[in-house]
Structure 1
Amino acid sequence: MAQETQPGPGTPAQGSLLLRDQLCFALYTASRAVTARYRPLLDELGLTYPQYLVMLALWERDALSVGDLGSALQLESSTLSPLLKRLEAAGLVRRERRPEDERSVTVRLTGPGTALRAKAHAVPLAIGDAMGLTPEQNAAAKHLLRLLTTNVTAG
């Protein structure tokens, strides 16, 4: 069996099948680790990670249409609808049909949903501490991940 060449640090061989050379695996493991770190913090808020993302979008701009919310979170309505149902059952949001267009649904925060925002302020601070990145590294990581997303979804 032929041995794969061992690329130097930071320079994976083109076409390498070594696990450590796969950007997708680095993204996968980082995503799992970060999401796991969120879990106990979000348990205190009574939210799952996807529900937390919905709440972040609504805390930023209340009264979003389901379509706008899906676009902001890059989620299909088939994924978003069950999340919204659970958040509505928990009393954090309400869904309203728009009077001018019954097909369009607007999602609004309720009083408890708005109040939960104050408790959530500790979450990004704790996650930032756990990541251990400098502000510059944090900004660079977000920039590269957004660029990667743009490039991959464009093609």
Structure 2
Amino acid sequence: MTNEEGPTADSPDESPAAGSPDECAPAGSLLLDDQLCFALYAAQRAVTGAYRPLLEALGLTYPQYLVMLVLWERGKLTVKELAGTLRLDYGTMSPLLKRLESAGLVRRERSALDERSVLVAVTGRGEELRERAECVPSALLAGTRLTADEVARLRADLRRLTSMLPAVSTPK
């Protein structure tokens, strides 16, 4: 049942779903340049592109570099811990780790404590690569022409945005 003002409380089938476009504020814009998602997408592609030549010199792709960063920082981890840290699924992690293992940079082994868990650790060759990779962050920072404070602020804003997004409902 509806009245002249719209759906009534006793007619749930006619009320818009939570987060539906019917509930959106009309102030939103559908212009591409007004979209936060596009600004983030374009920035991500630009940053990843800036990393490419730096990482090619190391023989790494950007996702492989991220795996190595986590392992250099934290040491031996399970595949599950790595996937969670990098926000990747197992279907993505497995081939990534396989390629890193083939390159001799990491080794995978079953956990002695839990046969279902696979541990990933950096090899000696992977540790040697760490020394060569130490120049990557400063080279990328120089390429952005941002100050260290600007980068820190941007990183903090992006982390805050990331932490807030699970609470946002998507339109159906």
Instruction: State whether TM-score is above 0.5.
Output: yes
* Aligned-partner residue type, residue 94 of structure 2: S
Residue aligning to 1:44: 57
Residue identity matched to 1:113: G
Task: Report what 2:105 is aligned to.
Answer: 92
* d(CA) in 1 for partners of 2:80, 2:135: 29
Gaps of 5+ in 2: 1-25
Q: Kindly indicate whether residue 33 of structure 2 is the aligned counterpart of residue 16 of structure 1.
A: no
Among 78, 93, 99, the residue aligned to 2:91: 78
Matched positions, count: 143
Match of 1:63 in 2: 76
Distance 1:122 1:30 in 2: 22
2:141 and 2:74 map into 1 onto residues whose CA distance is 23
Deviation at 1:132, TM superposition (A): 1.3
Larger RCO: 1 or 2 (CA < 8 Å, sep 6+): 2
1:14: how far off?
2.7
Whichever of the two has the greater Rg, that structure is 2
Pairwise CA distance, 1:30: 0.6
Partner in structure 2 of residue 5 of structure 1: none
Q: Deviations over 1:126-154 (max 9, x none)?
A: 11011111122111101111111111134
Measure the CA separation in 2 of the matches of 1:154 and 1:121.
36
Equivalents in 2 of 1:14, 1:116: separation in Å?
A: 50
Identify the residue that residue 122 of structure 1 maps to in structure 2. 135
Pick from 131, 151, 158: which aligns with 1:145?
Answer: 158
Matched, 1:109 2:122: yes
Over aligned residues, Cα RMSD in angstroms? 1.2
State the match for 1:132 in structure 2: 145
Q: Distance in 2 between matches of 1:28 and 1:44?
A: 25
